[in-house]
Amino acid sequence: MSFLIYFDEANKIDQPGKDYTYYGSYGGMDTTLASITRSIRDIHKALSTNSELHFREYNHDQYLKKYFKVLHHVINQDININILIVSNTEARAIAQHMNLSMLELRSLFYIKIPERLFYGVTRHLSLPSNIDVKISVDRNDEYRVLRLYSKIKEQMNAHSVYRNKRYKIESVRSHASHESFPLQIIDTFMGMVVFLMERAYMENSDASIIKSDLIYRFYLRLRILNDFKSR
**Domain 2-229 classification at class level:** alpha beta
Which pLDDT score, from 0 to 100, does residue 123 have? 75
Sketch the domain layout of the chain as residue ranges.
2-229
The helix/strand/coil state of 135 is strand
Name the E strands within the chain.
2-10, 20-29, 80-87, 132-138, 168-175
pLDDT in tens, the chain (231 residues): 799 999 999 888 877 778 899 999 999 999 999 999 999 999 999 999 989 999 999 998 899 999 999 999 999 999 999 999 999 889 889 999 999 988 888 888 888 777 788 888 887 766 566 788 999 998 888 888 888 899 899 988 888 888 888 888 999 999 999 899 999 999 999 999 999 999 999 998 999 999 999 999 998 887 655 644 443
Which pLDDT score, from 0 to 100, does residue 129 have? 63
Amino acid at 105: L
Contact 3, 29 (CB under 8 A): yes
